[in-house]
Amino acid sequence: MDYRPLGHTGLSVSAVCLGTMTWGSQNSEAEAHAQIDCALDHGINFLDTAEMYPVTPTKLETQGRTEEYIGSWIAHSGKRDKIVLASKVSGPSRWVPVRGGANRLDRANIEAAIDTSLRRLQTDYLDLYQLHWPDRGVPMFGGRGMQAITDDANAVPIEETLGVLADLVKAGKIRAVGVSNETPWGVAEFLRLARDQGLPRVASIQNAYNLLNRVFEIGLAEFALREGVGLLAYSPLAAGYLSGKYLGGFDPKGSRRDVAKQFLRYVTPNQPQAVARYLGIAHAFGLSPEALALGFVYAQPFVTSSIIGATSLAQLKADIAASLTPLPDEAYAAIADIYALYPDPCP
């Protein structure tokens, strides 16, 4: 396992991060604990969660259960110091009405969110606290382009949000700040405010990145490389599509597409053709589809950590091994050819 710096925080995190968004819906508490233990045994020290998890599917009655499962593991194991723990505060509600559905990234909501998360997680602090998505109106989760400003009248300015996070850092409740589902303009504004006003500097950007969605490379990769604000890549397997299990319109029972109908990001016209060609590359080089997809993400120089999630220990172990599989140069050349034909079919 490779360990990489988390921005300028002084923390080092494993280049594979354990994702948790199925815990509490598709995975039981015991299974969640077993996954953490397995991850630690394989050199993973980085866990990512969110106040709104689980999201497979998203339900009000299960919201927060994932953090509770991690908290019970911390309490039972006594190994809080063995993990770098990240969570997220929800922006304006899009799926689950967190805090009654009136939540914004303002002081009242962020302070309520962090205190609730810390209580569920049974810890005094978070190593990384991320804004799950912006408060302002931006294209995300499959949206393309921006033709007009669509901010809500009550949108909270980034300066105000970052000021609240600064107070949480001073209080010792969080060690570092990150963003998620963010744009180049947003990252630039966070960095400007940190520089000009002495506010916390964002340490990471958690955005989708995989063979079907490489838009991070267009504007954000330069920030990652020049400013040390690395990518925490979620959906490196494109929500399972790059495994090939959905080709032909097949929905395996218990799969994400079967249980979480809201994930439509990868249901696009050119996705099946692109997936089929990437599977062909994997076959040609004697690789599993997972090794091609996860190995590609792991090797990118702007990636701090690749977030993998699993519903079984066997899948988790296979995905860890796949992430650590080096790809031959010829495979990268073949990937480039496919990308030229199907650039970012699932942004």
Cβ-Cβ contacts under 8 Å for 336 (sequence gap 6 or more): none
Of the candidates 53, 129, 209, 339, the residue annotated as catalytic is: 53
Cβ-count burial of 189 within 10 angstroms (0-12 exposed, 13-18 middle, 19+ buried)?
Answer: middle
Q: Which phi and psi angles does 89 have, rounded to 5°?
A: -100, 135
In 20-89, DSSP assigns E strands to 46-48, 84-89
Distance CA 236, CA 240 (A): 9
Contact 313, 37 (CB under 8 A): no
Cβ-count burial of 304 within 10 angstroms (0-12 exposed, 13-18 middle, 19+ buried)?
Answer: buried
Distance CA 284, CA 313 (A): 28
Residue 53 is a catalytic residue: yes
| Helix then strand then coil, % of the chain, to nearest 5 | 40, 15, 40
Residue type for 13, please? V
* Residues that are catalytic: 53
